[in-house]
């Protein structure tokens, strides 16, 4: 057995990631720091951390997600229900309508949140020679759970799916060996990292001051296949 540095539980040997918390077992220092934010002031050499408010309604990356994620979930759920009910494709139409309504609702919520929080939701970001990560702030985590709980109580399957997806992406980590695609959005000072499976991306929202430094670190440490177009 191997002890996970992040959660302290014993994991069978041969696993690259902890089966309990998902932390890497091959790069314990970086990942344990991400999982244990109380140690930020004792971070190891080589890791850069910062906080920034993520823009919401003015962020094209998030706006696209708010539009396409509910529609994607609605198409999958509607098609599945239509097939198992013997071709009742009216269910697909209904799910698409619900998905559209959810998209509009999410966009309205983003607009309100950006106004109320005066710029967006506070998030912590990390980069080192071992990988990248982001960790949602307490406000974001609370809102995700309230939204998901409301969707469950209202019986909205698409809303519940979108909420669970948001919760799953609150604390994302990618080691450099996992990164296959890197997209840079200079206008909002963001860098998106995706694995070969294109799920659970890590997004770094840089500041005006550290954007060039972080981009230089990405070009230095990310695989050549991911930075070929940068």
62-120 pLDDT tens trace: 788 788 888 888 888 888 888 887 777 787 888 888 888 888 888 888 788 788 878 77
Domain count, the chain: 2
Whether 8 and 91 map to the same domain: the answer is: no
Stretch 140-147: mean pLDDT: 58
Q: Which of 19-33, 54-68, 82-96 has the lowest mean pLDDT?
A: 19-33
5 or 63: whose pLDDT is higher? 63
Is the full-model pTM beyond 0.75?
Answer: no
Percent of the chain with pLDDT over 70: 67
If pLDDT is split at 50, 70 and 90, which confidence band does 44 have? very low
Question: CB–CB of 104/122 below 8 Å?
Answer: no
Q: What is the C-alpha to C-alpha distance for residues 113 and 120, in angstroms, rounded to an integer?
A: 7
Q: What pLDDT was estimated at residue 204? A: 92
Answer yes or no: do 33 and 70 share one domain: no
26 and 81 inside one domain: no
Q: Across all residues in the chain, what is the average pLDDT?
A: 76
Closest C-alpha among 113, 95, 197 to residue 156: 95
Q: What pLDDT is recorded for position 191? A: 93
35 and 78 co-located in one domain: no
Based on the domain organization, do 36 and 123 belong to the same domain? Answer: no
Residues 6 or more apart whose Cβ sits within 8 Å of residue 86: none
- For residues 120 and 181, state if they share a domain: yes
Please tell me the predicted confidence (pLDDT) of residue 215: 94
What is the rounded average pLDDT of the residues 113-134?
84
Residue 172 and residue 95 in one domain: yes
Whether 112 and 21 share a structural domain: no
Q: What is the DSSP string of 101-134?
A: HHHHHHHHHHHHHHHHTTS-EEEEEEE-SSEEEE
Same domain, 121 and 209: yes
Average pLDDT over residues 176-190: 90
Say if residue 13 is in the same domain as residue 125. Answer: no
Q: Which domain holds residue 28?
A: 1-42
pLDDT reported for residue 153:
65
Contact 190, 210 (CB under 8 A): no
pLDDT digits (tens, 9 = 90+) for 192-221: 999 988 777 888 999 999 999 999 999 999
Pair 51, 37 in one domain: no
* Nearest Cα residue to 136 out of 145, 128, 59, 47: 145
Q: Are residues 23 and 115 in the same domain?
A: no
């Amino acid at each position: 057995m191997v002890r996970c540095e992040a959660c302290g539980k014993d994991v069978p040997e041969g696993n690259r990631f902890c089966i309990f918390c998902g932390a890497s077992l091959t790069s314990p220092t970086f990942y344990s720091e991400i999982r244990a934010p109380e140690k930020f002031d004792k971070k190891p050499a080589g890791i850069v951390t910062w906080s920034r408010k993520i823009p919401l309604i003015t962020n094209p990356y998030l706006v696209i997600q708010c539009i396409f994620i509910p529609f994607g979930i609605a198409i999958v759920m509607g098609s599945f229900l239509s097939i198992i009910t013997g071709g009742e494709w009216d269910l697909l139409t209904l799910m698409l309508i619900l998905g559209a309504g959810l998209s509009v609702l999410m966009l309205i919520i983003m607009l309100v949140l950006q106004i109320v929080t005066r710029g967006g939701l506070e998030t912590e970001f990390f980069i080192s020679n071992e990988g990248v990560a982001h960790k949602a702030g307490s406000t974001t985590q609370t809102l995700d759970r309230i939204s998901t709980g409301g969707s469950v109580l209202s019986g909205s399957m698409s809303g519940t799916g979108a909420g669970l997806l948001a919760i799953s992406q609150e604390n994302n980590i990618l080691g450099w060996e996992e990164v296959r695609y890197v997209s840079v959005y200079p206008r909002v000072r963001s860098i998106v990292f995706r694995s070969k499976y294109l799920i659970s991306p890590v997004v770094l929202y840089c500041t005006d001051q550290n954007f060039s430094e972080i981009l230089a670190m990405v070009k230095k440490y990310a695989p050549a296949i991911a930075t070929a177009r940068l």
